[in-house]
Amino acid sequence: MTVDLDATVSPSLTRDLLKWISQEYHDINGSSFQTLQSPPTPAEFAQIVHISRPVVIKGFQIPALKRWTDDYLRSKLQDQPISVAITPNGRADAIAADPGGKLFFVEPFTEEITIVKLLEALNTAEQESDDTSASYLQSQNGNIYSSRSFESPKDDPSEFGALREDVPSNIPWVTEALGRNPDAVNIWIGNSKGVTSIHSDPYENIYTVIRGRKHFTLLPPTEGWCLRERLYPHAVYGRTDNSKDLIVVPSLDSPQVRWSSVINPDLPGSLPPEAHPLHITLEAGDTLYLPVGWWHYVRQSGPTTIALNWWYDAEVRGMNWVLLNLLRGTGNVPSGNDET
């Protein structure tokens, strides 16, 4: 559905309306989050989804939590090639400048390496502040299970097939609450260099930390207007010749990408005073319910931080989708390069 509020309401009035909604939302909901000491029942989780605020859930036990040492991962995955994102700065799918200062939305260079190489790269980079590049396994394409797993399990090959016995393909209390199977289940392996720039997803997200720590900075969908979304030309990181250096390579024929201009929402002054960021740190064994449309910026600590996430399609019926469209505001998004 095309959102063009401007056909109806002018951009400056849309902005005023979005400010009004975000203020009302904050007056009612405040800036706190709930922590559950054990997983909810399906009906309890359905209530949580209806409220659509982040909840930390303790005690969601899965085999990966106890098993996934470096040795175990090496012995299970052996020589299996793994697609890893390589960037000069740890920021994949983020805004970056080319040498001339022009801004792009840049996707990572992807390299297929073994788990041995990946663990080595993460450890070395963490200890030696290797500034040449950062590795982050963040392929997020259903790299453990994709939706095909539920229709025809044999047609869902995975680089991590050997780890499937440690990861449930769906979470019973979520699947029953939402009445559907996940759309994708992903593994994430990185270190403190890997950062995920602030964005929102059209999914209900269950995010579990297996090793290390993840630090989330969250904004409700109502505060999206604080993030200055702009249009950026698309690019990917590439290597020239035999050099290991990565450069920004503009994509020909790719449409522009709408993305937040806020590079790091944790830096003082990055957000207007009307924003109320929520800071949540997940330790190993903690699970976050990250509701559809919530903006998230994610950092991690520890030499090898491993996480899993289950994405479930969000409910489109009812008011929720209309509302998320309204909160994304006007269709007239200016170019990010005009501002600089």
**Which residues pair with residue 302 across a beta bridge?**
none
Closer of 29 and 123 to a second copy (Cβ): 29
Q: Does 46 bind a second copy (CB under 8 A)?
A: yes
Cα separation, 330 vs 5, whole angstroms? 5
Nearer to a second copy, 264 or 332 (CB): 332
Q: Which of 265, 229, 231, 245 is nearest to 103 (CA)?
A: 231
Which position among 11, 36, 42, 72 is part of the footprint of a second copy (CB under 8 A)? 42
CA dist., res. 160 & res. 184, Å (int):
13
For the window 142-181, what string marks contact with a second copy as x by the rule CB under 8 A?
Answer: ----------------------------------xxxx--
Identify the sign of the CA torsion 249, 253, 257, 262: positive
H-only helix segments in the chain: 11-29, 42-51, 63-67, 70-77, 115-128, 148-151, 172-178, 320-328
User: What's the CA dihedral at 188, 259, 295, 224 to 10 degrees?
Assistant: 180
With contacts defined by CB under 8 A, name the span among 5-13, 97-105, 162-170, 241-249 that binds a second copy.
5-13
Q: Does 278 bind a second copy (CB under 8 A)?
A: no
Tokens, residue 83: 């697609």
- In DSSP terms, 145 is beta-bridged to 185
Residues 6+ apart with CB under 8 A from 128: none
| 5 lies in the binding site for a second copy (CB under 8 A) | yes
44 binds a second copy (CB under 8 A): yes
Tokens 């983020």 belong to residue: 94
Site for a second copy in 298-317 (CB under 8 A): 315-317
Evaluate whether 167 touches 309 at the Cβ level (below 8 Å). Answer: no
337 binds a second copy (CB under 8 A): no
Q: Taking CB under 8 A as the rule, does residue 29 contact a second copy?
A: yes
**Whole-number Å distance between alpha carbons of 253 and 237:** 16
Least Å distance, CB 40 to a second copy, is 10
Query: Which residue lies nearer to a second copy by CB, 167 or 292?
Result: 292
Give the span between the Cα atoms of 202 and 271, in whole angstroms.
Answer: 23
Interface stretch with a second copy, choices 2-10, 77-85, 163-171, 228-236 (CB under 8 A): 2-10
Residue 36 · residue 60 · CB < 8 Å: no
> Is 52 a binder of a second copy (CB under 8 A)?
yes
220-239: contacts with a second copy (CB under 8 A)? 221-222
Q: Which residues pair with 297 in a beta bridge?
A: 217
Binding of a second copy by 332 (CB under 8 A): no
Does 50 contact a second copy by CB under 8 A? yes
Mark 53-72 with x for binding to a second copy (rule: CB under 8 A) and - for no binding. Answer: x-------------------
Least distance from a second copy to the Cβ atom of residue 5, Å:
6
Q: Which of 128, 244, 318, 338 binds a second copy (CB under 8 A)?
A: 318
Q: Which residues of this protein are in contact with a second copy, per CB under 8 A?
A: 1, 5, 8-9, 13, 16-17, 19-21, 24-25, 27-29, 41-44, 46-47, 49-53, 176-179, 221-222, 315-323, 325-326
